[in-house]
Amino acid sequence: MNFRKMILTVIMLLFVISIVNAKITLTFMTPLAGEDGAYMDRIIQKFNAENPDVEVVHLVLVNDLEYKMKLSTGVSTRQAPQVLFTRKYVLPAFKDLLKTFTAQELNQYGIDVNDIYPGLIEGLVENGKIYGIPLDCWIFYLAYNRGNFAKAGLDPNKPPTNREEFLAALEALKKITPQGVTPYYENPSWSWIWVHYLWQFGGDLLTPDFKEPAFMEAGAKALRFMMELQDKGYLPKASVDPGPVFLGGQSTFLITGIWTAAAFKEALGENFGAAPAPQLGTHKAVFGGSHVLALTRVMVEDPKVLDAAMKWVKYLWDHAIEWYAAGQTPARISIAQSQELKEKLPHIYAVAQQLPYVKTFQMFPLLSEVVDAVAVHLEDVLITRRVTPEKAMEQAAEEVRDILEDYWSSVKK
């Protein structure tokens, strides 16, 4: 072999070796900003350091519309992210773009879907195929001020669990609550708190076939209950920003998302209390949502890319407790009930005990539009009191029917 051929052979060999050992870069698209994003970045950095053959790049798009556009346009040009981390209610809009797995296939990657709470994986399985893996649950909980409990003669270790206890506590707390503030200080026209009460009164937004609104009766009951709280001086009659007042210690109760827990705990210290949301309606239910992991089908057709993507998904699955420190509850039953969670994140553990009856938004592609349509009418009842709860729900139902008719007529075409 002459020198020239030898050089060419060495070059070809080095080229082949470089291809075999090439690092696979994965784009991981999430809606995470602020502290949530910082927690995820730390997990990504650890993964990249421990896995030199794979590099995860974090792409953040907070807005749902921008997120959807990035995915749909990326798929058409094969420039989409390989791995998605998204809010569960966003997935129906592009589920046809996602790679699906059977439970057995996921089990081969070390992911047991039977370890996920049924309420979280509901709607993510079609014909035995799973197109999304819930990693967490951003659930509602009762945040309360333990110091105010003690001032009012209440036991800080016994937060209310039902309507009777909740109302009794509110009455006691009124006596130590500053004028102009209510003991339960929440924006009454926040649509998500209304949905929470809607579910607790046994209703849902749409019928199971997504053809008709289903919230009218239970939605009116939820509004009547909230009006009762207002009339007794327990809940504001105006739109308010509850955070500063709660953090300042003037108010005592907030029924809100677990994502607030870390900031509340840091601000209030020993006075911060976290407990399951009390059952104030007729049904045991609590508002929740989930961040779901999914793969873009056209971007993981290469088996090596698929394996790399699933290595990252499995890493998140195995290191989920690090993510829950950001202010999330577990999607996995085994972690929610574990001694490790109880010791490392006791407030998350306490709130996680209500996960068996969590409800999430129905998997209808225009669900956000449905909620927005109802939200417009909440202020007419709880702020201006221009209409009755029943009339407001009737008006909202008419608008929702228009949304449903437009959707189904476009689908039929």
Q: Which numeric CATH code is attached to 139-288+364-412?
A: 3.40.190.10
Which pLDDT belongs to residue 9?
58
Which pLDDT belongs to residue 15?
46
Which pLDDT belongs to residue 12?
57
Residue of 33 and 304 predicted with greater confidence: 304
With cut-offs at 50, 70 and 90, classify the pLDDT of residue 4. low
Which pLDDT belongs to residue 353?
94
Residue of 340 and 15 predicted with greater confidence: 340
**H-state helical runs in 271-388:** 303-318, 320-324, 333-336, 339-344, 346-352, 367-382
At 186 the three-state DSSP class reads: coil
Q: Please calculate the CA angle 173-177-182 and round it to the nearest 5 degrees.
A: 85
What per-residue string of b and e applies to 200-210 under the rule 16 or more CB within 10 Å gives b? bbebbbbeeeb
Structure tokens that stand for 300 in this block = 């993981």
Average pLDDT in the chain: 93
With cut-offs at 50, 70 and 90, classify the pLDDT of residue 48. very high
With cut-offs at 50, 70 and 90, classify the pLDDT of residue 308. very high
**Beta strands 291-295; 125-126: pairing state:** unpaired
Average pLDDT (82-109) is: 94
Least reliable range by pLDDT among 18-27, 75-84, 107-116? 18-27
Q: Is the pLDDT of residue 6 over 70?
A: no
Task: Give the phi and the psi of residue 135 in degrees, each rounded to 5.
Answer: -105, -30
* % of residues, the chain, pLDDT over 90: 88
Which pLDDT belongs to residue 35?
86
At a CB cut-off of 8 Å and minimum separation 6, what does 297 contact? Answer: 97, 98, 99
Which pLDDT belongs to residue 21?
54
Query: pTM for this one?
Result: 0.88
DSSP of 192-257: HHHHHHHHHTT--SB-TTSSSB--HHHHHHHHHHHHHHHHTTSS-SS---HHHHHHTTS--EEEEE
Could you tell me if 291 and 88 are in contact, meaning their C-beta atoms sit under 8 angstroms apart? Answer: yes
Fold matches, 16-134+291-330 and 139-288+364-412: yes
Which pLDDT belongs to residue 34?
84
CA distance 409 to 404: 8
Taking Cα atoms as reference points, which of 28, 31, 39 lies closest to residue 345?
A: 39
- The distance of Cα 252 from the centroid of its chain, to the nearest Å, equals 24
| Domain covering 16-134+291-330 assigned CATH 3.40.190.10 in the classification | yes
CA distance 146 to 167: 17
Q: Is the pLDDT of residue 391 over 70?
A: yes
CA distance 327 to 322: 10
Which pLDDT belongs to residue 7?
59
Q: Is the pLDDT of residue 62 over 80?
A: yes
**Beta strands 133-134; 129-130: pairing state:** unpaired
Q: Is the pLDDT of residue 162 over 80?
A: yes
Q: Is the pLDDT of residue 1 over 70?
A: no
Which pLDDT belongs to residue 65?
85
Structure tokens that stand for 389 in this block = 């709860």
CA distance 31 to 295: 15
**Model confidence pLDDT, tens digit, residues 262-299:** 889 999 999 999 999 999 999 999 999 999 999 999 99
Q: Is the pLDDT of residue 3 over 70?
A: no
- The distance of Cα 153 from the centroid of its chain, to the nearest Å, equals 35
Residue of 395 and 9 predicted with greater confidence: 395
Which pLDDT belongs to residue 16?
43
* % of residues, the chain, pLDDT over 70: 94
Q: Which residues pair with 94 in a beta bridge?
A: none
Q: Which residues pair with 58 in a beta bridge?
A: 28
Q: Is the pLDDT of residue 412 over 90?
A: no
Q: How many other C-beta atoms can be found within 10 angstroms of the C-beta atom of residue 372?
A: 13
> Taking the alpha carbons of 8, 14, 15, 20 in that order, is the dihedral positive or negative?
positive
Q: Is the pLDDT of residue 18 over 50?
A: no
Which pLDDT belongs to residue 5?
61
Instruction: Kindly list the domain boundaries of the chain, sorted by start residue.
Output: 16-134+291-330, 139-288+364-412
Which pLDDT belongs to residue 19?
44
